[in-house]
Chain A
Amino acid sequence: MARSITYREALNEALTQEMERDESVIVMGEDNAGGAGAPGEDDAWGGVLGVTKGLYHRFPGRVLDTPISESAFIGAAIGAATAGMRPVAELMFVDFMGVCFDQIYNQAAKFRYMFGGKAVTPVVIRTMYGAGLRAAAQHSQCLYPLFTHIPGLKVVLPATPYDAKGLLTQAIRDNDPVMFFEHKALYDLAGPVPEESYALPFGEANVVREGGDVTIVTLGRMVHTSLEAAERLAADGVQCEVIDLRTTSPLDEDTVLESAEATGRVVVVDEAHPRCSMATDISALVAQKAFGALQAPVEMVTAPHTPVPFSGRLEDLYIPDAQRIVNAVKTVTGWTR
């Protein structure tokens, strides 16, 4: 049995092991060490939530603090990737994509195609997403649908410490640009993680719970909320299959469709806004390719089409909870023509 470590520690371990394995792996971002140029401690922070703590001293010259200047350093990471490095840049909150998006979607994502297959851009952009910390409208968004929409990017959302380590390792070894989404409410989640290095392939969803009555397709933090709902439903005799997509690009269509064919009832649970989202994407996929098997319309459980509110009372209403998932499952099981 593997020891139990947190999601944060699992990410740190993946970075450490990959930096040891490959000298071309470098890390950069705001306060990734912390304290640059300041009179106190070096490596003061290790990133705003401590994911890169300890790397600065362990890998001299390979952990770079940056000015608060996302276009410049995200672009620099992309440029360094084209020159043979494997940079892992940290975009502190994905909400800050607005001040560097051009470098990601017009530069990194397009180089390979636009240059006729001659470019390789192995950059990883780690970023925090998601609501739940009362961080309000500009520090709580999901936004992974925006990146999933862009050909040339890969989009990864680990839900557990085990996946965090294995998917980050794969992201660093991968030769395409990877957007790596870390849910800020998961950093302290502990779980079993092997000590040795391992990589989890992209495009392979994880069936985290098997069941024959309803398929719940979800991702990121919502995996845990969905499991909680599935547990409650099992007490009522409804068996849910819970699928963690793990990566939205590439997308494991087969696992989703096989389960949908088997259960005939699908609920998609997504913390992002409801329009042009993974929820609508999966719903369309199932409607188009598993239509004959469906015994009820697909239900979507998502955040509302609003900015993320600050007040805890409102934010708790905003984030999909287990009860809403239970209700959606009951809707699809109770549906009659």
Chain B
Amino acid sequence: MSLKVENLSVAYRMRAGDCCPVDGVTFTVADGEIMGLAGESGCGKSTLGNSLIFMEGRMKLLGGRVVLDRQELPIADFRAMQPLRMTKVSLVPQYAMNALSPTRRISKLTTDLLRSHGVREDSVLEEMKRRLRLIGLGPDVLSKYSFELSGGMRQRVTIILSTLLNPSLLIADEVTSALDVSTQRAVGEMLMEFRDRGFVKSVIAITHDLSILAQIADTITVMYAGRLAEKADAGTVVKAPLHPYTQMLLASLPEVGLRHDQTTLTGIPGRPPSLVSPPSGCRFAGRCPFARAQCAQAPPFEEVAPGHRVACWKVSRGWPEGGRV
């Protein structure tokens, strides 16, 4: 068991009160697993990813624990996490490709980064060149400034940098977003390749794009308004989802080959609830066509089939199909 997250709750301190985008989240990621974490903007997926490695000052751990390779991560202790960052857990934050300093060459940037983690660059530089070659970039990239590279090249360089010390867990936050389809594919395949070669043991790939996850992820976890809605292997989530939210989300995605004059897709009416004062029961109940009185209580995130967990009364109680009662 590579990563074990138990009952994790993380809040942001705000003037209006605590906003709790990660609320009692429990899951595991196995060795060699690429877990896709999907959800819409504001559902807490990035906060969840960040909390595993980098708790900023305005973030507060409300409860729960995180165990990586049998070692509990001191996630709430910013300084105690420092030696674990990049060596055990690594993060490619959102928009990371724009985070490369424009005034330093890639090689200098790499050196600085490694030294700040107490690693001598000459022991790793050959490996970095090898990995660059592996994904089709020449060693000349090292002598360039970030603005001389295209967006796709920068994104791949940031992934190489963050996995250079072979961390156990890589958190990749929207690494394929804002890229062209061909570059998206290259980055997605790079993640799989790095996992296959053991550069990282497991990956949490955070994205709003389910179709990318269908390509690269082994399992998909769907998050809604701070809670996990469904987790199963990627094929099951895409082909036989059980949570009404997953079902409706998938039904709203146009695929190549679909036209408006044959099939009219529909979105999900309504908006997610506020995370400052969320409803006490199921968070999706307000938009769910199947909601019943019982949904005023929060459904547990239960295993309904081997490896398939769902937080929905309709699924765990086996309600028949039908409208609102």
Partners in one complex: no
